Structure 1
Amino acid sequence: MQAYFCGLFGYTRQAYCKQLNKNTRKALDEGFIISQVRLIRKDMPRLGGKKLHCLLKEKGIDIGRDILYDILRNNKMLVKKKKKYAITTNSKHWMKKYPNLIRGFNFTQTNQLWVSDITYIPINNGFVYLSLITDVYSHLIVGYRLSQTLERDGAVGALTMALKHIPGEDRIGLIHHSDRGVQYCSQEYVNLLKENNIRISMTENGDPYQNAVAERINGILKDEWLDHEYFFCFEDVKLRIDEIISI
């Protein structure tokens, strides 16, 4: 049979066997990559190709990014981004709004700038709201609080956690940046920042997309972890958020 195919395609027997072995190895390699991707996505079902490539490299699997994308595409494993946006910011209020202190500022270490933001997570009968505080330099979440409403308690809770987590001597010169929402302009929140000698910075036109790092962290949490899951109630989301942020 080999001789027949060799004659049909103009191969020598040696060349035919070499090509056959190459195709077999390629199929085995592709199967291995797919199995590793599925293993990683057990915990992070919406993890995209770029981060998969990094995690595979950490596992010692040396594969080109383009080849990985080809494998994902051919096996219908590319993750489609969900485009949706819900308004969580109300900047039309009477409370004092602070200027933007961070334009053109170069951050070179942790705890120079924290950014705060709030995102929504759907549940069976509505939404719950996750307040996050992220260190811009390290991209680590230093404080968070899940709430059932958009009132200031969630934002205050996230800030309180961050202040407990990072000692005062490590926060000298720290700037806190946020949008101009009522939560961040509230007297309780502002007083907590001032009592801890943290400078206050806010977006200038109320557009939350100016708060780029905070929006990016929110996007990662939702696109790669939360959007694929169904949560029945507040407690379900809280358990999952605690699990994700502890990883």
Structure 2
Amino acid sequence: MVGHWAIADHMLTGLVTDAPAAAEHTRGNLAGAVIHTDHGTQYTGRAFADACRQAGVHQSMSAIGSSADNALAESFNATFKRETLQGRRTCPSEREARLDAFGWLNRYNTRRRHSRLGQRSPIAYETALATTATTLAQAA
């Protein structure tokens, strides 16, 4: 799970379509990726569905009232909030919020080891998968 983000002082459609667009710009290709969201209107609208479809991203939504099928996303969000806010209720400025989010996600993606990924960071895990897939394709 590699995290990408967008930040704003609103929860309008433009915010949620910015995150997959930024991820696609950074990563080059999102084909086959899964994005998990809740049932907020910004995620159930046509603009977000179109943005996901254009990027080749599969939309996943938990069942209403069920926390079991979105536990990974909820855990990720809780860890992000706990480790970036660290006892604060708010950020002093939008700039500081952006810097905190960028710093945390950079560390999460590149250095934070995950037991589920064999004690590798998400980027190291993806790199190993890509190398394995390329090697297998060349061997065939």
Regarding TM over 0.5, the answer is yes
User: Residues of 2 paired with 1:213 and 1:163: CA distance?
Assistant: 22
Unaligned stretches of 5+ in structure 1? 1-134
Could you tell me how far apart the structure 1 residues matched to 2:72 and 2:47 are?
24
Alignment partner of 1:205 out of 40, 44, 64: 64
Correspondence 1:157 to 2:11: no
Contact 2:84 2:100 in 1 (8 A): no
Higher strand proportion: 1
Q: 1:241 is matched with which residue?
A: 101
The code of the aligned residue for 1:159 comes to P
Q: Deviation at 1:187?
A: 1.5
The answer as to whether partners of 2:35 and 2:60 remain within 8 angstroms in 1 is yes
CA–CA distance in 1 between the matches of 2:32 and 2:67?
A: 24
CA gap 1:144/1:208 in 2 versus in 1, 3 angstroms? farther
Identity %: 19
Superposed CA RMSD: 2.2
Structure 1 segments of 4+ aligned residues over 4 angstroms from their partners: 206-209
When the two structures are superposed, what TM-score results if normalisation uses the length of structure 1? 0.38
Higher helix share: 2
Structure-2 separation of matches of 1:181 and 1:238: 23
Structure of greater Rg: 1
- C-alpha distance in 2 between matches for 1:174 and 1:246: 19
**What are the residue-to-residue correspondences of 1:38-117 with 2, within 5 Å?**
none
Cα–Cα, structure 1 residues 207 and 155, in superposed 2: closer, same or farther, change >3 Å?
farther
- Which residue is 2:79 aligned to? 220
Which deviates further from its counterpart, 191-200 or 222-231?
222-231
User: What is the number of equivalent residue pairs in this alignment?
Assistant: 106
TM-score by length of 2: 0.63
